[in-house]
Structure 1
Amino acid sequence: MILRFLRPGFSAAVFGMRVLFTVAVSPVVLAQEAHHPAETAQTAEESAFLAENDAAMTKMMNDMAAKPSGDIDRDFVAMMTPHHQGAIDMAVIELRYGKNERLRRIAQEIIVEQRQEIDAMKLALGEQVTDTTPAPTQQPGAKPAPAATSHDHMNMHHDMMKQETK
């Protein structure tokens, strides 16, 4: 009501400020709501998925806040490595809970590709790449299957040929 007695340009400016404030605050509010999705989960499995995903995102964001070293390339790798590791962690969570076979295959590809990116960045800095962690789809403590050798493939091929001639 008081705005009527003020200059017409002033009420338009106040209205514009209110619109800008609403536009600026909405994404912040939505981000805060999206950051706590476990509270709105429908099932126990979905709650577990959302909690693990939230933990992975929080870890990634915290780890990306690397202290500058004075070396731009090292700082880039120090920030990108947790970013890629976060993608790996989220893909593992998809493999643990997801049902869609296409998405599960994509998650497997993400794991391989992001690990390769991490290794490539480390190699570019001259760092040693020594990945001793088990594949994320294996149970912790499980021994990986022995790698097949070319000799094994030849035996497999020979055995298959025998079966076909029977």
Structure 2
Amino acid sequence: MILRFFRPGLGAALLGARVLFALAVSPAAMAQEANHPVPAGQSAEERAFLAENDTAMTKMMNDMAAKPTGDVDRDFVAMMTPHHQGAIDMAVIELRYGKNEQLRRIAQEIIVDQMQEIQAMKLALGEQVTDTSPAPTQPGPRANPQSSPAMAAHDHMNMSLEMKMQETK
């Protein structure tokens, strides 16, 4: 074994460096694997879905790389907020393109839950929570925005958040 020729301290250090390098490279490699090229035989709708999802994932990953402030709680919220927003963005994309009603309902729940958690984290830090607008589920203007699934999820979220705030008083 090659490590036998090195002093024990150096061999352990080299092994440790390889492990740390592997751990550091793995998330980057996994993120790159998510950005794979789209095969040519896909429909325009599938290509649009994958392109939007790739954009959402890239934005989430970039935004999660928050600069540390020295305040663990603020750093946690700074990293978790884009993580939750990425889930919201991907759920909106499912609502825009998905056909499975069960998955669409789950996507609506994800939107509600993640928006509530973002607001709860901001409230825990004493930050002002702004009123949220519904997430669009169709590209461009809608004929009747009041009928969107995201609008229903938004209304449910506001009602649930109000109930949670009442419980804490």
Is the structural similarity TM-score above 0.5?
yes
Decide whether the 8 Å contact of 1:41 with 1:47 is kept in 2.
Answer: no
Structure 2 counterpart of 1:67: 67
Whole-Å separation in 2 of the counterparts to 1:72 and 1:30? 26
Structure 1 counterpart of 2:35: 35
Shift of 1:143: 6.4
TM value normalised by structure 2: 0.63
Larger Cα-atom Rg: 1
Decide whether the 8 Å contact of 1:41 with 1:50 is kept in 2.
Answer: no
TM value normalised by structure 1: 0.64
Q: Deviations over 1:24-81 (max 9, x none)?
A: 7999877644322434561111000000000000000000000111100000000000
Structure 2 counterpart of 1:136: 136
How many corresponding residue pairs? 126
Q: One-letter code of the match for 2:68?
A: P
Counterparts in 2 of 1:119 and 1:47: CA distance versus 1, 3 Å: same
**Structure 1, unpaired ranges of 5+:** 1-8, 11-23, 146-166
Decide whether the 8 Å contact of 1:37 with 1:50 is kept in 2.
Answer: no
What percent of counterpart residues are identical? Answer: 79
Counterparts in 2 of 1:41 and 1:53: CA distance versus 1, 3 Å: farther
Written as runs of structure 1 = structure 2, the 5 A alignment for 1:85-164 is: 85-137=85-137, 144=146
Shift of 1:133: 2.6
Structure 1 counterpart of 2:52: 52
Does 1 or 2 have the higher relative contact order (CA < 8 Å, sep 6+)? 2
Q: One-letter code of the match for 1:47?
A: R
**Structure 2, unpaired ranges of 5+:** 3-21, 148-169
